[in-house]
Amino acid sequence: MTAPPRWEQPSKSWEGIFDLAGMSREIDRLEEISGQQGFWDDAAEARKTLKKLSDLKGGVEPFTKLQSRVSDLVELAELIEDDESSDAAELRSELEAIEADYARLELETLLSGEHDASNAIMEINAGAGGTEACDWAD
């Protein structure tokens, strides 16, 4: 019995980072709130709610697109299982693209905290080490 391909194996970090079920529940809750009568009575709170809703939808959409691409890739892999033609090359190319998109999405999600979009100032001091250390610090 052979091991399933790596794109079919569940990723532990995937589930820990992308809480799709929780995000979907929160989207449903916020959509229900935004549809209630009197939602716009407090305009500042309404804008805050809609911003959060938009951010959540923006987080779910790339994930679902990636899931769809993986499903399509699995179907294509099943169709061309032992074929070494250009279809197999296309499969490898798409797999590499999906892996790159997954890595990008994972990084974006890890850096999606409250202050992660803020600017930062970084200062590097050479300390001990002479002129070479100073060259690297510049």
- Write the CATH number for 107: 1.20.58.410
- 128, part of any domain: yes
Domain hosting 110: range is 11-137
Position 123 in a domain = yes
Inside any domain, residue 30: yes
The verdict on residue 1 lying in a domain is no
Q: What is the pLDDT of residues 59-110, one digit of tens each?
A: 788 888 888 888 888 887 777 766 566 677 777 888 888 888 888 887 877 7
Overall number of domains in the chain: 1
* pLDDT tens digits along 106-137: 787 777 777 777 788 888 777 777 777 777 76
Q: Is the residue at 115 inside a domain?
A: yes
Greater pLDDT, 117 or 3: 117
Q: Which two tokens stand for residue 129?
A: 């080490």
pLDDT at 1: 39
CA distances from 20 to 32, 44, 50 (A): 18, 27, 19
Instruction: Specify if 89 maps to a domain.
Output: yes
Cα–Cα distance for residue pair 97/66, rounded to 1 Å? 10
Query: Is 4 part of any domain?
Result: no
Determine the pLDDT at residue 44.
93
Q: Is 2 among the domain residues? A: no
- The pLDDT value recorded for residue 65 is 87
Residue 27 in this model has a pLDDT that exceeds 70? yes
Q: What pLDDT does residue 11 have?
A: 56
The model's confidence at residue 6, banded by pLDDT at 50, 70 and 90, is low
pLDDT at 2 over 60: no
If we measure between CA atoms, which residue out of 97, 100, 54 comes closest to residue 76?
Answer: 97
pLDDT of 50 over the 90 cut: yes
Say which DSSP state 36 is in: S
Report yes or no: 105 and 62 within 8 Å, Cβ to Cβ. yes
Other CB atoms within 10 Å distance of the CB of residue 73: 19
